[in-house]
Amino acid sequence: MPDLERLKRLRNRTAIVGVGASRQGTFPDLDPYTLAIEAFRSALDDCGLVRGDIDGLIVQGPGGVSFVRMGEMLGLNPVAGATFDIGGFATGPLIQYAALLLDSGICRNVALLYGNASRTEGRRFGGETTVTPGREYSSAFYYYGLTSPGAASAFQARLHFETYGTTSRQLAAVPVAQRRHAALNPQAIKKDSPLTVEKHQRSRFICEPLRLYDYCLINDGGVALIMTTAERAKDRRKRPVYLMGLGRHDTYRHSSLPNYLLWRETMPMAAEMAFGMAGIGRDDVDALMIYDSFSINIWFALENFGFCKPGEAGAFTQDGRIELGGEIPVNTHGGHLAESYMQGWLHQVEAVRQLRGECGARQVRGAEIVQYICRGNVASTLIYRN
């Protein structure tokens, strides 16, 4: 059990002051380092710091992007650097780690750099390339044709459908909403590709019951965030976005089998921790950024964080409730399903831009609190305020 009283001391003690994104798409000539550095330059410019101000370097990317190599390329010799290669659910934990580096006094300005060239590298999230020869534990059951993170979500979607009577047609509301949001985001890869429920229902299954449009994009790009302490944040170029609450909960039981009961073993605990630390309730949240490798993740986040009751996400996500202007707008940038697959990092950029009021046509009016949620056996959440 987290020591909530102690954790509360961290409330609003650190802030994101700079955000940056590289071009997002397919770039055969660029590697993850180059993409991350493009984003880093943009983030420095965003907050008015220079390279030499950075004394903490946190690096992530699929396939392993080295903080040592990144630091060498950037000419950085920080107090502390690290690469955490723990997959897509790393984003929340890494921002939490950065907050601890800052609040403890180990670092003054931490840069978090993310580079992803999955499209160009032809990365397959399933099949022969994901099987480690001779390692039964790392990739068991592939001999039955089981593979891919999407299959894990498909098994959970099936469980949700059969347990609660929800349907693929109801799930379509998630990608449809996010395409609508993407249409208002100049950075979104699918900004000119609207989606309807009918088109979703006609699209092919990948791992049934999930269809093509329930799966995220795979593309290249880079993202950078710069964080500092609350005191220093006031001197930066733009309005700071404070880390008000954070939550995390892991379970490793059945880690090699995607058979959690819809993430009920991790997400509610992470939620309780973050709301407790921030001292707010769900009704105070103006928008949600939800890690959406697959559309069904949105349902798990809404149910397990108490935005609706267990089993009710199918009905809850209808009628524009998760769209701009609705009860709780979700992934106003378009998310992984429609903007870009930057494994949660562009979700942070969008949270910051919403809280600065920089989002133009997709601005959530009067946004004061935005929450990030990631499902998984490593579940995490961040609550931001302006």
Residue 80, H or E segment: strand 80-83
Position 291 contacts other proteins (CB under 8 A):
no
| Near other proteins by CB under 8 A: residue from 77, 193, 196, 256 | 256
Which residue, 8 or 169, is less far from other proteins as judged by CB? 169
Which C-beta is closer to other proteins: that of 127 or that of 360?
127
Binding status of residue 128 toward other proteins by CB under 8 A: yes
Residues annotated as part of the active site: 291, 341
| Residue 378: its H or E element | strand 378-385
CB 360 to other proteins: min, Å: 37
231-253: b (≥16 Cβ within 10 Å) or e: ebbeebebbbbbbbbbbbbbeee
Stretch that binds other proteins, among 76-84, 121-129, 287-295, 326-334 (CB under 8 A): 121-129
Residue span binding other proteins (CB under 8 A) among the ranges 44-52, 84-92, 200-208, 370-378: 200-208
Cα 67 to the center of its chain, rounded Å: 20
Six-digit token string for 50? 């220079």
Q: Would you count residue 148 as binding other proteins (CB under 8 A)? A: yes
Q: Give residue for tokens 């900004």.
A: 191
Q: Which residue has the tokens 């979703």?
A: 200
Type and span of the H or E element at 103: helix 91-103
Judged by CB under 8 A, the residue of 257, 318, 319, 327 near other proteins is 257
Interface with other proteins, residue 264, by CB under 8 A: no
User: Which residues ranging from 151 to 190 are in contact with other proteins (CB under 8 A)?
Assistant: 151, 154-156, 158-159, 162-163
Binding of residue 16 to other proteins (CB under 8 A): no
From the list 330, 363, 364, 362, the residue with the least C-alpha distance to 347 is 330
The H-or-E segment that residue 247 falls in is strand 241-250
Q: Is 141 in the site for other proteins (CB under 8 A)?
A: yes
Q: How far is the CB of 135 from other proteins (least distance, A)?
A: 6
- Assess 259 for contact with other proteins (CB under 8 A): yes
The answer to whether 203 and 212 are in contact (CB under 8 A) is: yes
Q: Are 355 and 370 in contact (CB under 8 A)?
A: yes
122 lies in the binding site for other proteins (CB under 8 A): no
Q: Are 280 and 362 in contact (CB under 8 A)?
A: no
Position 144 contacts other proteins (CB under 8 A): yes
Write the interaction track for other proteins spanning residues 208-237; mark x where CB under 8 A is met and - where it is not: xx----------------------------
Binding letters toward other proteins, positions 100-119, x by CB under 8 A = --------------------
Q: Does 9 bind other proteins (CB under 8 A)?
A: no
- Based on its alpha-carbon atoms, the radius of gyration of the chain, rounded to whole angstroms, reads 20
Query: Taking contact as CB under 8 A, which single stretch among the options 36-44, 45-53, 133-141, 306-314 is the one that binds other proteins?
Result: 133-141
Q: What is the largest distance, in Å, between two alpha-carbon atoms of the chain? A: 57
Instruction: Determine the Cα angle at 286 with ends 285 and 287, to 5°.
Output: 100
Min dist CB 71 to other proteins, Å, is 36
Residue identified by tokens 């009016």 is 365
Q: From the list 192, 204, 231, 281, which residue makes contact with other proteins (rule: CB under 8 A)?
A: 204
309 touching other proteins, by CB under 8 A: no
Q: Give whichever of 76 and 337 is closer to other proteins, judged by the CB atom.
A: 337
Number of CB atoms found within 10 A of residue 193's CB: 12
Phi, psi of 99 (to 5 degrees): -60, -40
Q: Where do the H-state alpha helices sit in 259-340?
A: 267-278, 296-304, 313-316, 335-338
Of 295, 73, 68, which is closest to residue 168 (Cα–Cα)? Answer: 295
- Candidates 53, 142, 284, 306; binder of other proteins (CB under 8 A) is 142
Q: Closest separation between CB of residue 128 and other proteins, Å?
A: 6
Query: Apex CA 289: angle with CA 20 and CA 53, to 5°?
Result: 30
Q: Is 134 in the site for other proteins (CB under 8 A)?
A: yes
List contacts with other proteins (CB under 8 A): 124, 126-128, 131, 133-137, 140-148, 151, 154-156, 158-159, 162-163, 204-209, 253-254, 256-257, 259
